[in-house]
Amino acid sequence: MSYLYDLHTHSTCSDGQLSPKELVRLAKDNGVDVLALTDHDTLEGVSMAISAAGDDLHIVPGIELSSLWNGRNIHVVGLQVDIDCPMLASAVEQQSEIRIERAKTIAMRLEKAGILGAWDGAKHYAEGSIGRPHFAQYMIDAGYVDSFAQAFKRYLGSGKIGDVKNRWPALAEVVSWITASGGIAVLAHPDKYDLTRTKLYTLLQDFVNAGGQAMEVVSGQQEPAVTSKLLRAAEDFSLLASCGSDFHSTENLWQSPGKMSLLPKGCKPIWEAW
Ligand code: AMP
Ligand code: MN
Ligand code: MN
Ligand code: MN
Per residue in 245-259, pLDDT (tens digit) is: 999 999 998 899 999
- Shortest CA distance to 187 belongs to which of 102, 69, 96? 69
What average pLDDT does the segment 66-72 reach?
97
Q: Give the number of C-alpha atoms closer than 13 A to the C-alpha of residue 27, restricted to the C-beta side.
A: 37
What average pLDDT does the segment 180-201 reach?
98
State how far the Cα of 266 lies from the Cα of 61, in Å rounded to an integer: 26
Instruction: State in Å: Cα 117 to ligand 4 middle.
Output: 27
Q: Are 82 and 181 in contact (CB under 8 A)?
A: yes
Mean pLDDT (the chain, rounded):
97
- Check residue 165 and give its pLDDT: 86
State how far the Cα of 181 lies from the Cα of 88, in Å rounded to an integer: 6
What average pLDDT does the segment 223-234 reach?
98
- For the CA of 103, the closest atom of ligand 1 is 3
- Check residue 267 and give its pLDDT: 96
- Check residue 173 and give its pLDDT: 98
For residue 1, pLDDT over 80 is answered with no
- Check residue 186 and give its pLDDT: 99
Per residue in 9-49, pLDDT (tens digit) is: 999 999 999 999 999 999 999 999 999 999 999 999 999 99
β-pairing, 72-79 with 184-187?
antiparallel
Q: Which residue among 9, 15, 68, 161 is best mutated to probe the pocket of ligand 1, counting the most ligand atoms within 8 A of its Cβ? A: 15
Per residue in 130-180, pLDDT (tens digit) is: 999 999 999 999 999 999 999 999 999 999 999 998 889 999 999 999 999
- Residues of the chain with pLDDT > 70: what percent? 100
- Check residue 85 and give its pLDDT: 98
Q: Which residue among 102, 106, 152 is best mutated to probe the pocket of ligand 1, counting the most ligand atoms within 8 A of its Cβ? A: 152
Instruction: Indicate the pLDDT class of residue 243, thresholds 50, 70 and 90.
Output: very high
State how far the Cα of 43 lies from the Cα of 48, in Å rounded to an integer: 10
What average pLDDT does the segment 264-273 reach?
96
The reply to whether ligand 1 has any atom less than 6 angstroms from the CB of 99 is no
The reply to whether ligand 1 has any atom less than 6 angstroms from the CB of 132 is yes
The reply to whether ligand 1 has any atom less than 6 angstroms from the CB of 253 is no
The reply to whether ligand 1 has any atom less than 6 angstroms from the CB of 157 is yes
Burial of 272 (0-12, 13-18, 19+ CB in 10 A): exposed
Instruction: State in Å: Cα 132 to ligand 1 middle.
Output: 6
Instruction: State in Å: Cα 3 to ligand 3 middle.
Output: 24
